[in-house]
Amino acid sequence: MIRLLPLLLPLGWRNLWRNPRRTLITLVVVAVGTWSVLIFAALFNALTTGSRDTTLRFLTGHGQLHAAGYLDDPSVSHSMAPPGPALRGALDAPPVAAWTGRVRVPAIIQSEYRTRSVTLAGVVPQNERTLSDLPKEVTEGRYLTGADDPGIVMGRDLAERLKTRIGKRVILMAQAADGHLAESGLTIVGLYAAGKPAEDEFVFTGLDTTQSMLGLGERLSEISFEVHDEGSLADVIAELRRAAPRLDVEPWMELAPLVYTIETFGRYYTAVWLLIMFTLMAIGLVNTQLMAVFGRRREFGLLQALGMRPRQIVLQVVLESALLVGVGVLAGTALALLTLAPFHQGLDLGFLAPGAEIMGESRILHPALGAAESLLYGAIIWLLAVGAALWPALSAATARPAAAMSR
Amino acid sequence: MTAIIQCQGVERTYTQGAVSVPALRGVDLTIGRGDFATLAGPSGSGKTTLLSVIGGLDRPTAGKILIEGRSIAELDAAGLAELRLHKIGFVFQSYSLIPVLSALENVEFILRLLGLPRAERLARARETLHAVGLTGLEDRRPARLSGGQQQRVAVARALAPRPAIVLADEPTANLDSGNAGELIALMQRLNEASGITFLIATHDARVIAHARRHIEMTDGRITLDERSSPAAA
Question: What is the structure's pLDDT at A193?
Answer: 86
Interface mutation target, options A18, A306, A314, chain B, most CBs of B under 10 Å: A306
Does the beta carbon of A309 lie under 8 angstroms from any beta carbon of chain B?
Answer: yes
- Number of domains chain A contains: 2
The residue with greater pLDDT, B102 or B182, is B102
Choosing from A211, A245, A279, the residue where a domain stops is A245
pLDDT digits (tens, 9 = 90+) for A340-355: 888 877 777 767 766 6
pLDDT digits (tens, 9 = 90+) for A41-100: 888 878 777 778 888 888 899 999 999 999 999 989 999 999 999 999 999 999 999 999
> Are B168 and B187 spatial neighbours (Cβ–Cβ below 8 Å)?
yes
Per-residue pLDDT at A362 exceeds 80: no
Are A7 and A116 in a shared domain? no
The residue with greater pLDDT, A283 or B24, is B24
Are A43 and A75 in a shared domain? no
At B121, the amino acid letter reads R
- Phi first, then psi: what are they for B213, rounded to 5°? -140, 140
* Interchain CB distance below 8 Å, A14 and B81: no
The whole-number average pLDDT for the span A100-104 is 96
Distance CA A386, CA A394 (A): 12
Confidence of residue A288 (pLDDT cuts 50, 70, 90): confident
Distance from CA of B43 to the nearest CA of A (A): 14
Pick the CATH number of B35-56+76-227 from 3.40.30.10, 3.40.50.300, 3.40.1160.10, 3.40.640.10: 3.40.50.300
Distance from CA of B210 to the nearest CA of A (A): 26
Are A224 and A264 in a shared domain? no
Interface mutation target, options B43, B112, B113, B114, chain A, most CBs of A under 10 Å: B113
Question: What is the structure's pLDDT at B232?
Answer: 52
Confidence of residue B62 (pLDDT cuts 50, 70, 90): very high
Per-residue pLDDT at B218 exceeds 80: yes
Q: Tell me which residues of chain B have a C-beta less than 8 Å from any C-beta of chain A.
A: 49, 52, 55, 57-59, 77-78, 81-82, 84-86, 90, 92, 96, 98-101, 109-110, 112-115, 157, 161
Out of A274-278, A303-307, A398-402, B76-80, least confident range: A274-278
- Helices first, then strands: H and E counts in chain B: 7, 10
Question: What is the structure's pLDDT at B224?
Answer: 92
At A2, the amino acid letter reads I
Question: Which residue of A11, A307, A403 is in closest CB contact with B110?
Answer: A307
* Interchain CB distance below 8 Å, B84 and A403: no
Buried b (16+ CB within 10 A) or exposed e, A218-228: ebbbbbbbbbe
Question: Which residue of A11, A307, A398 is in closest CB contact with B100?
Answer: A11
User: Cβ neighbours of residue A39 under 8 Å, at least 6 residues apart?
Assistant: A336, A339, A340, A367
Question: What is the structure's pLDDT at A353?
Answer: 67
> Are A36 and A177 spatial neighbours (Cβ–Cβ below 8 Å)?
no
Question: Which residue of B49, B58, B84 is in closest CB contact with A307?
Answer: B84
Choosing from A222, A245, A268, the residue where a domain stops is A245
The whole-number average pLDDT for the span A10-22 is 91
Question: What is the structure's pLDDT at A254?
Answer: 93
What is the predicted ipTM?
0.89
Are A112 and A41 in a shared domain? no
> DSSP per residue over B174-217, as a string?
TS-HHHHHHHHHHHHHHHHHH--EEEEE---HHHHHT-SEEEEE
Confidence of residue B6 (pLDDT cuts 50, 70, 90): very high
Are A293 and A362 in a shared domain? yes
Are A45 and A74 in a shared domain? no
Question: Which residue of B85, B98, B99 is in closest CB contact with A307?
Answer: B85
> What separation, in Å, do the N-terminal and C-terminal C-alpha atoms of chain A show?
28
Question: What is the structure's pLDDT at A242?
Answer: 95
- Residue B92 burial class via C-beta count within 10 angstroms: exposed 0-12, middle 13-18, buried 19 and up: buried
> Are A71 and A207 spatial neighbours (Cβ–Cβ below 8 Å)?
no
Are A335 and A187 in a shared domain? no
Q: What 3 state SS string does A121-139 have?
A: EEECHHHHHHHCCHHHHEE
The residue with greater pLDDT, A365 or A335, is A335
How many residues does this entry show for chain B?
Answer: 233
E strand or H helix at B222: strand B221-227
Does the beta carbon of A266 lie under 8 angstroms from any beta carbon of chain B?
Answer: no
Q: What is the mean pLDDT of chain A?
A: 88
Per-residue pLDDT at B209 exceeds 80: yes
Which strands form B165-169's sheet, in the order they lie side by side? B88-91, B165-169, B197-201, B36-40, B213-218, B221-227
* Interchain CB distance below 8 Å, A305 and B55: yes
pLDDT digits (tens, 9 = 90+) for B23-49: 999 999 999 999 999 999 988 899 999
Are A49 and A79 in a shared domain? no
Are A305 and A358 in a shared domain? yes
Question: What is the structure's pLDDT at A342?
Answer: 85
Confidence of residue A358 (pLDDT cuts 50, 70, 90): low
Distance from CA of A324 to the nearest CA of B (A): 17
Per-residue pLDDT at A387 exceeds 80: yes
How many residues does this entry show for chain A?
Answer: 407
Confidence of residue A225 (pLDDT cuts 50, 70, 90): very high
* Interchain CB distance below 8 Å, A306 and B113: yes
pTM (two decimals) = 0.73
Distance CA A28, CA A203 (A): 53
Per-residue pLDDT at B233 exceeds 70: no
Distance from CA of A381 to the nearest CA of B (A): 28
Out of A45-59, A153-167, A184-198, least confident range: A45-59
Task: List Cα–Cα distances, B212 to A36, A68, A106, B197, B228, in angstroms.
Answer: 69, 108, 112, 11, 5
Question: How many Cβ contacts (< 8 angstroms) between chains A and B?
Answer: 74
Residue-range definition of the domain harbouring residue A228: 69-245
Closest CA to A370 of A53, A40, A49, A42: A42
Does the beta carbon of A311 lie under 8 angstroms from any beta carbon of chain B?
Answer: yes
Closest CA to A138 of A78, A90, A48, A199: A199
Which positions in chain A touch B109 (Cβ < 8 Å)?
7, 306
% of chain A beyond a pLDDT of 70: 96
Choosing from A221, A245, A269, the residue where a domain stops is A245
Question: What is the structure's pLDDT at A392?
Answer: 85
Which positions in chain A touch B81 (Cβ < 8 Å)?
304, 307-310
Out of A259-273, B18-32, B120-134, B197-211, least confident range: A259-273
